[in-house]
Every structure is written in structure tokens, then in C-alpha cells.
Amino acid sequence: MNETEFDSDDGFEAIVADAGPEERAFEAALRPRTLEELIGQERVREQLSLMLEAAVARGRTPDHVLLSGPPGLGKTTIAMIIAHQLSAPLRITSGPAIQHAGDLAAILSGVNEGDVLFIDEIHRMSRPAEELLYMAMEDFRVDVIVGKGPGATAIPLEIPPFTVVGATTRAGLLPSPLRDRFGFTAQLDYYDTAELHRIVDRSAGLLDLEVTEDGGREIASRSRGTPRIANRLLRRVRDFAEVRAGGVINHDVARDALALYEVDELGLDRLDRAVLGALCRSFGGGPVGVQTLAVAVGEERETVEELAEPFLVRLGFLARTPRGRVATAAAWRHLGLVAPASAAQLPLDVE
């Protein structure tokens, strides 16, 4: 099969796909529980530490916190750490679960003083729920409307002081009145290889695995700047090491295991290479519309846009131009192909 005939039904799971239940349990076991255990994100860590310490010293609930950044960089982990540092109960919900103002009112009515309410994917709440939330965040009081039309009544609901921690991959989608209610906002950045290496070592320690220095670095350098992927790759390499290599994860074991799972030396997986392959081989490097590209690799448009493109753009392999997707000369080279003279060079005029 050539790469443009990529078929997602052949048992392949993208390395950036959502975690299943088993992996979620694995992730939970590896989560840092305190700010000291959290690796990287130095600035966010220091700022948060200061804010939380000051709040505890004053005996007040801290400001509401908004965490934004791509999936797998530690937003849920940080929300849990905040609750832990405050010795406060954590209530967890998500934007898609709050589609009506009533859903949120029900949650708010159960909030106790000092609770931390974590709302994942906060940008996906409905508009009426967002409005209710920012009133609750500002005044610790909301009017719950019961009934409809002329018979509707507003029932005031007092809420004890609490802290909202919102997480979003798309801070720009939050309406500014809601965004403004967060006294502390943090944009999480991708991790560098050294930080990912420390994360791999920490996870290996918790899992009682033997990973050599170069084995750890090999996993880290293919982890796309993302702790979740570092842990995911470690898990796959662990299986390989146990079954085929006597358990020790060294450079060659990591390299061979990741080759088996089709994660290349830059961290591109098969979907990424299929997208680039289609773009270069079938469409001469573009420009081509994302929908056409998705059909060519047998995937949904959203899968290509959300799982493959961000990393390809970050690597400078693909650009989203007003006329469609374009492969850069670096992308051609990565596939081992000769770039046509017209191949785009960075920087491009991107969207």
C-alpha cells in the first residue's frame, strides 16, 4: 500500500488520538501531584505557586484560573495540583456536559466554600451557560430562571466563594466577558526534548522500568513536545522491551519499537506521513483543499485538521494558505522526495 492509500480501518491508531479508558488509568498513575513534581512550564509553575501561597496565607479563595494550550500538555494535571495545593475538593466537569444554564445551576448548587471546579473544554459550553458562569464567578450569586414566558421567575442562588479552573485548547473562542473573569491565565507551551526526557525518566521510575540515558532521549525526541505522547510512547516501548529485549529500554530498543509503531525520528506517525505523502505525490505539493486531502487519506476532515496538521505546521512541513494546504520544501525532503523548484519555502504567507 502506498502512503496515499492510508486507511484508518486497518487497525492503526494515531499516536495523537484520544486516550481510551485503559490509557486514562495509566495516565492517572503518572500524574504529578504537586507543583514541585510538575516538570517544565517554569513560569506558570512559579506564578501559580505564588498565587496559591498568597491565597492560603490570606485565608481567601484564589483567583479563577484559565489554562490554555494544545491537548496533553498538562491542563488537567495542573487543575488537580491546584486543588491539592489548596487542600480543596476538586469537582470535574466539561463544556460539552454543560449545554443548558440549568446544567450549570445544578453543579453550582452543590459547590461548597473553597471548592475547585474544573471545567475542561470550557469553550464548548452553551452561551446561556457561559453567561450564568461569569455571573457566578464575579458575584458568587446567580439568578436561576425557572419556567418560561410571562410566568418565568428568577430564583436567586447564593454560591459560597469557590475557584473555577477552566481549560481550553481554543482560548480565542471564549467570549471576552468570560475570559475577563479569570484573574490568572496561563498559556501552556510545548515542552523541549530535555523536559520530555525528564518526564520519561520520572514515568519510568514510577513504572519501575530500566531506561538508559540514550533510550530516554530517543523517546523524548519523538514525543512532539507533548508529555501525554511521551508517556504513550514509553508504554509502547515498554511492551516491546519486555517481549523482545529482556526489559531494558536502550537507544536501539526505543528506536526499533518506535519504528514498529511507525513513529519516525521527528515524531510523525503514519497519518502525518499519509497526509504529507498525498499532498506531495498526488497533488504536486498543493495548494489543495483540506477536504480533498482528507478524502485522499481516507480520513475525516476534522481528523486531518486536528490530529495531523498542527504538528506538520509546527514543524514547518505544511502551510495553510488562503488557497489551500501547501507542502514546503522541507516536507518533500522528509519524505525522501526531490522538491520541485516551485516548492514553498518558509516563511510563507499563512492564514
Ligand X SMILES: Nc1ncnc2c1ncn2[C@@H]1O[C@H](COP(=O)(O)OP(=O)(O)OP(=O)(O)O)[C@@H](O)[C@H]1O
Minimum gap (Å) between residue 217 Cβ and ligand X: 16
Pick from 40, 95, 114, 285 the residue near ligand X by CB under 6 A: 40
List the one residue out of 73, 181, 178 whose CA is nearest residue 122.
Answer: 178
148 catalytic residue (yes or no): no
Per rule CB under 6 A, is residue 201 in the interface with ligand X? no
Minimum gap (Å) between residue 170 Cβ and ligand X: 11
Q: Taking a C-beta distance cutoff of 8 angstroms, is the pair 120, 93 a contact?
A: yes
Report whether 148 belongs to an annotated binding site.
Answer: no
Pick from 68, 76, 163, 328 the residue near ligand X by CB under 6 A: 76
141 catalytic residue (yes or no): no
Minimum gap (Å) between residue 168 Cβ and ligand X: 9
120 catalytic residue (yes or no): yes
Pick from 3, 15, 16, 30 the residue near ligand X by CB under 6 A: 30
Closest residue to ligand X, based on beta-carbon distance: 74
Coil, helix or strand for 270?
A: helix
| Residue 171 DSSP symbol | G
Using CB under 6 A as the binding rule, the residues of this chain from 274 to 303 that contact ligand X are: none
Q: Taking a C-beta distance cutoff of 8 angstroms, is the pair 161, 115 a contact?
A: no
| Residues in Cβ contact with 314 at an 8 Å cutoff, skipping those fewer than 6 apart | 190, 225
Q: Taking a C-beta distance cutoff of 8 angstroms, is the pair 199, 216 a contact?
A: no
Nearer to ligand X, 71 or 95 (CB): 71
Report whether 63 belongs to an annotated binding site.
Answer: no
By CB atoms closer than 10 A (0-12, 13-18, 19+), residue 185 is: middle
C-alpha cell of residue 27: 495516565
169 catalytic residue (yes or no): yes
Per rule CB under 6 A, is residue 228 in the interface with ligand X? yes
| Residues in Cβ contact with 39 at an 8 Å cutoff, skipping those fewer than 6 apart | 32, 191, 195, 198, 199, 202, 227
Query: Which residues carry out catalysis?
Result: 75-76, 120, 169, 228
Binding residues for DNA: 301, 320, 325
